[in-house]
Structure 1
Amino acid sequence: MSIGSSIEVTPIPQQPNSRRNLGAVATNLDVNNLSAEDWDVIRNALYEHSVLVLKDQAHATPKAQYELTQRFDPQSENYGHGKTLDAKRSILHPDLKTIPHQPQVQVIGNGFVEEFEGLKNIQLKHPHHKTFHKTAIPEEEDLDFTRFYRWHIDAALYDLQPPRVTSLMAVKVPKGRTQTLRYDDGTGDEMAVPLGTTAFASGYTMYDILSEEDKEFVRTTKVEYAAHPYIWMSGAKSLSTGLGLVSDGLEIPKSDLPPIDESKVLVLPMCWKNPVTGQLALQVHPSAVEKLHLKDGTVIDDLKKVREIVYKLQRPGIAPELVYAHDWEEGDMVLFNNQGVIHSVVGAFAPDEVRIFRQCNLASSAAPEGP
């Protein structure tokens, strides 16, 4: 708590074997009525803890959600994926619906909703790993076991810069069972997760646990992302950990993509700097990577090799004891540092389990700052 603000910030308690260093809860606040002092507390807490859960915000309006998200980057005003969601071939197209009176805020979830924020008769679909992974958990185990769907950064990664912060608002949450999340990668790694959790992993921890040699590599390497990445990857399938794609040559060829403007292709640092603490995060969207630019000018463009390098660097950082799996309650508004964590949808809902969330992120007004 700071002078002039009543907000209480409490780090999320650790499990006994946990090594995770992210997540805090903020209480005693009202997103619709934030003072300048409240804003300072929220901003500092977010950049210190990476994921900040604002409790009891069921009354928060889409406008207040947008305004809070925008305060992290006042020059930004457009939704993080711009108009690219309209592309029917984009793998993101089925997952989002736009709120008419606040177009920077999207509705995501599961099930049929008659009316919500001016949208009528919408069918929401919670993504299931079997639609995206190369292998799937057998049907008879599907209620009890699950996987990370796709580890990612919220970002268009073509033409638009990655949003600084994403806000997720839980409007309606089906309560219920927990599931066992399996990595299914031969390690035996698994963890218990709440149904429909959102999982977060810290890019700062991911960087900190690297060897000195790998730290030097990631500090000096740049990542080139594929043009129109969500259409480009639409034919490919994911690894069982959700951390990147299998290299089976199923990406859409460049000749079949929408026109490519080379000036809009993003080449970003592999490490992004925290604006408050100065820490470095290993921050890569593993499914959208196409090439690596090394400090000596070499470009690695063998896609299979690029993915293997990125996977080796990122996989230790999603170990079960480093992942924060949020147990959603209605009225939770979760802010996360989209330039310091990667996250994944998890779990599977039955068609009649209705879940309604509001999501907001804004394309950044500047590229992420490197080392």
Structure 2
Amino acid sequence: MTTLTICSKPLTQPMGSNIDFGVELTGINVESMDDDDFTILRKALYENQVVVIKNQGDLSPRGQYELTRRFDPAAGVYSHGKSIDKRSVLHADLTTIPHQPQVQVIGHGSVKEYEGLTNIQLRHPHHKTFHKEPISAEENDDFTHFYRWHIDSAMYNLDPPLVTSLLAVQVPKGRRQICRYDDGTDTTIDVPLGTTAFFSGYRLYEMLSEEEKLFVRTSKVEYAPHPYIWMSKAKSRSNGLGIVSEGLELSDEELPPFESSKIKTYPMVWKNPVTGKLAMMVYPTCVRKIHLENGEVLDNLPEIRERLYKLQRRAIDPTLIYPHDWQEGDLVLFNNHGVMHSIVGSFKDHEVRIFRQCNMAASRPPMGPDDQISA
């Protein structure tokens, strides 16, 4: 049996960080784990939410898929389904590995050949395509925004993956950027180029007042049908936390056909299946309605967005964010039902970055606050 050792050193954090999640594991061979090893890994993930495993550059796409699926053996379909509509805001960001369709290639730059793909042009999502007020072209090299704080999920028809894995194959070196919030405050955070930033839904829930906790524990959010098409003309706040309300969302008639039974309504609070802790987990860009405990349905979208923003904004304080400093061979696993994350950064044309992402639509919906943890 391979012995997993949780490093005593905390993950590299910004100055003044106050995060309480994340761990680095050593002594693990991902592709040859036995059941005892995996039990340790799973426990570490749900106790720490983000797990970093170094030096995994030799991990095959098949091995990455098998590891990710191990957290949810009944899963098997990529989180957004077998195909993504060209009208979706996600369409240009993902390239499927032909021999392992649950694994996507993401990154930036021109790649001649990789895992059966040839002459691919990767595009790191840039906030100028999505934000209401992007950073100017003159400042683009030095400054950036959080692109979109999100949960990996289709949020229609398919349930959010339990776990996402990200593998850094090729990483540009040396440059950092200042991430500006530009949200009426002068808040900034220094970040590595192309970081993936995380915040804890558990920490957010702990920060709420008792009145706010009661509201989120007893309310549910309804997501829009085909949300990434629904929002395709809308623009984001500059800190990436939700949409600016301008009435640009597509009407039901403008969307592809949808079934009411496939529209997703989830609790605002999700329970950790190992620790039982509660996390506020709401994907603000996709939300359309709020269902209250008394049966009332809130459907004024600007008011809903403002209410959610006031609840969630505290979670993206710089001291509560973990911006991972990617090194080639880093394998990062994260609890997609407990942390939210954002793409960050803007690359130059010559900077090539290759990552692999794997997640699969869950075999069950998120656990609500009243759900029982199974043995």
Q: TM-score, normalised by structure 1?
A: 0.97
- The equivalent residue for 1:307 is 305
CA contact (8 A) 2:23 2:48 kept: yes
Q: 1:171 aligns with which of 139, 148, 169?
A: 169
Equivalent-residue separation in structure 2 for 1:84 and 1:207 (angstroms):
34
* TM-fit CA distance, 1:187: 2.0
> In structure 2, do the counterparts of structure 1 residues 178 and 84 end up closer, same or farther at CA, with 3 Å as the change threshold?
same
Q: Which amino acid aligns with 1:67?
A: E
- The equivalent residue for 2:212 is 214
- The equivalent residue for 1:42 is 41
Equivalent-residue separation in structure 2 for 1:297 and 1:103 (angstroms):
41
CA contact (8 A) 2:3 2:27 kept: yes
CA contact (8 A) 1:52 1:335 kept: yes
- The equivalent residue for 2:3 is 6
Q: Which amino acid aligns with 1:56?
A: N
- The equivalent residue for 2:237 is 239
Equivalent-residue separation in structure 2 for 1:272 and 1:293 (angstroms):
16
Equivalent-residue separation in structure 1 for 2:272 and 2:260 (angstroms):
29
- Unaligned regions of 5+ residues in structure 1, if any? none
Q: 1:323 aligns with which of 321, 324, 331?
A: 321
* TM-fit CA distance, 1:327: 0.2
Kindly indicate whether residue 17 of structure 2 is the aligned counterpart of residue 18 of structure 1: yes
- The equivalent residue for 1:183 is 181
* TM-fit CA distance, 1:6: 2.0
1:103-152 Cα offsets, whole Å, 9 max, x none, are 10000000011110001110000011111000011221111111100000
- The equivalent residue for 2:90 is 92
Q: 2:121 aligns with which of 114, 117, 123?
A: 123
- The equivalent residue for 1:339 is 337
Q: Which amino acid aligns with 2:6?
A: V
**SS across alignment from 2:266:** strand
Q: Which amino acid aligns with 1:352?
A: H
* TM-fit CA distance, 1:13: 5.1
- Unaligned regions of 5+ residues in structure 2, if any? 370-375
- The equivalent residue for 1:66 is 65
* TM-fit CA distance, 1:16: 5.0
Equivalent-residue separation in structure 1 for 2:273 and 2:199 (angstroms):
19
Q: How many residues align?
A: 367
Q: TM-score, normalised by structure 2?
A: 0.96
- The equivalent residue for 1:251 is 249
- The equivalent residue for 2:195 is 197
Q: 1:160 aligns with which of 148, 153, 158?
A: 158
**SS across alignment from 2:313:** helix
